[in-house]
Structure 1
């Protein structure tokens, strides 16, 4: 799906830049070149927003599911902090994507790491809940008592 959206953007950019060239070999007037430039700029910006929306919509169902699961089974506060960090990383991804293609990589990796932390928290929370319900063992309480924290 990502390849198809990138191909669509490249085709849109080629069409927009081919439409900006004047039909005659001479110089075009400022009005014609400004209109063509605005049209190509509009296509570039709309293609940028399309790519951003496509990239974010791929991860959003995973993010919502893992955020909800970690909040229910592990910790609401820690899940909320991780959710805010993920949204901040996605915001920085958008800002970096609008400036340059390389500017999007660091925030993308950051938000992926936060997503993996949420996956780990939700997995740990589900495991602890299953141990508490089916094995009658509260591993978190046992760990705290072993470390003399409680």
Structure 2
């Protein structure tokens, strides 16, 4: 008689959960942006690769893209802007440390102490996950229109 051994992997709970962004999150985000400096923050929208992507999408009259193609292009632009913002934020992490902790505490329901004790990679993943949120991209879209 042969016994089958079945290995059961327990699903580990995620280290954090982020709620959806809401209107109340605008205020801590504005505090963070003001600590970084609005001009430096806006440079994320002015990067040369962003200008090229926008130009390529908006001037492509000959080969009219289908809606999905246009959405794909806008997604690429949104991701590029989000990465530029993440880069800017990481460069100023020390300048707005308390504001970032407060913002992430509100999104995750964790205490500042819990965030401070997180492994570095988990904490940075949390920051990046905020930038990946659909609501954040919407916020950035509105901000970028205001700057134009």
What is the TM-score with the length of structure 1 in the denominator?
A: 0.35
- Structure scoring higher RCO (CA < 8 A, sep ≥ 6) equals 2
Structure having the higher Rg: 1
